[in-house]
Structure 1
Amino acid sequence: MGRKAFYGAGSQWRNHPIGGMGLTTSYRCLLILIFVFIFKVKIFDNQDINMGNEQVLEIRKLSQKYAYTSIQMHETIARKAGFSGTDHKYLGFFLQRGKLTAGELAELTGLTTGSVTALIDRFEKKGFVKRQADSVDRRKVFIVPDSEKIINLLKPFYQDFQDKTENLIASFSSNEREVIESYLTKALELANQTISKLK
């Protein structure tokens, strides 16, 4: 192919974004096809990115909605169990850890020293905990829970939800459960990091 044939495009193509390169018809067609292909790939890539961003946003919104709904559920259970606010949730720390000092409970709950003292007083009045001096250091006082009484109070409200939650988790495949566990673990780490920064 001669140089003139390769570059001899008409004036009508010379000012066109594609034809202006002066290619022969077959090369112009090839270039157009490549251009269209690249353009479509670019659009699909952008769509994938947009869809990915939308999915991330939707999952974040669902996480927030779950957190808000969880708070509502706990508040509803609290009222049914005869508690004000979310006092009953703090009983869970005693079930998990056993006896605690007031300082340890304050650290776990994020409550002030005064609020923790008032919380312990309310629990003690209901018979859920008792104050017990350390056998070695009498200045140190443990808050000892009556675990059986706490479980008997809360089990009727939580057992059905707990069973259904376990069944829901079991319905996912092993790989899916690993993804869920990874997300929740990292989400908890992020939340704890945020709490530490704000202290």
Structure 2
Amino acid sequence: MYRRRDDRRGQIIADIANDLRRYSVDAQHVGHAFAGLHGLNATDLHALIAVMDAELAGDPITPGRLGEQLNLSSGSVTALIDRLERGGHIRRDRDTADRRKVFLHYADRGAALAMEFFRPLGARTDRVMDRFSDEELEVVHRFMAEISASVREHRDAVRAARPEAPRRAAD
């Protein structure tokens, strides 16, 4: 798949692929350390990331969309949300226009815990980014956005190719 070739481009591509794999594993270890420290399981962590991503995109997530993203039944999503809410990680807010609609947001306590844990990593990341010019960062950003989209497309294709399996319960 990512075999090293004799040419320079092939070598660079292989090195980047290996770096991405190592980054992915290391980032998972950091996420699992945060989860373990706060009594969260893998599904809890994925839910928190989904809530955060939706908020950052300016499009808060609903319980239904969260269930679709995590491949969970509505009962499992309810139990997951209840657990995260009790732990102070998220909060439910009703839509002002349609009171039947619920949006999930990071709770202040959950955001503070995440900030405290990830602040040192953010400082390290800032120091690395400071070593690159704006033009270099633009290229890296474009590369990462396209690689991430490619991985999501592959994930979705794999999901679509699998026989329909019952939705799994939360961990």
TM bracket (short chain): 0.7 to 0.9
TM alignment of 1:1-199, pairs within 5 A = 50-85=7-42, 87-98=44-55, 99-107=60-68, 109-114=69-74, 115-146=76-107, 148-199=108-159
How big is the alpha-carbon RMSD for the aligned residues of Structure 1 and Structure 2?
2.6
Cα contact 1:78–1:86 (8 A) shared by 2? no
Q: Identify which range, 80-89 or 185-194, moves more after superposition.
A: 80-89
What is the CA–CA distance in structure 1 between the aligned matches of 2:90 and 2:134, rounded to whole Å?
Answer: 40
TM-score by length of 1: 0.63
User: What corresponds to 2:163 in structure 1?
Assistant: none
**Gap runs ≥5 in structure 1:** 1-47
- The structure in which a higher percent of residues are helix is 1
**Gap runs ≥5 in structure 2:** 160-171
Identity of aligned residues (%): 25
TM-score by length of 2: 0.72
Higher Rg = 1
Counterpart residue type for residue 73 of structure 1: V
What secondary structure sits across from 1:100 in the alignment? coil
Cα contact 1:91–1:150 (8 A) shared by 2? no
What secondary structure sits across from 2:132 in the alignment? coil
What is the CA–CA distance in structure 2 between the aligned matches of 1:126 and 1:112, rounded to whole Å?
Answer: 20
The C-alpha deviation readout for 1:151-196, integer Å capped at 9, x for no partner, is 2111111001011102211211233222211210110121122123
What secondary structure sits across from 1:143 in the alignment? strand
Cα contact 1:74–1:86 (8 A) shared by 2? no
What is the CA–CA distance in structure 1 between the aligned matches of 2:142 and 2:104, rounded to whole Å?
Answer: 34
Cα contact 1:133–1:142 (8 A) shared by 2? yes
What is the CA–CA distance in structure 1 between the aligned matches of 2:18 and 2:98, rounded to whole Å?
Answer: 49
Aligned pairs, number: 150
Counterpart residue type for residue 81 of structure 2: I
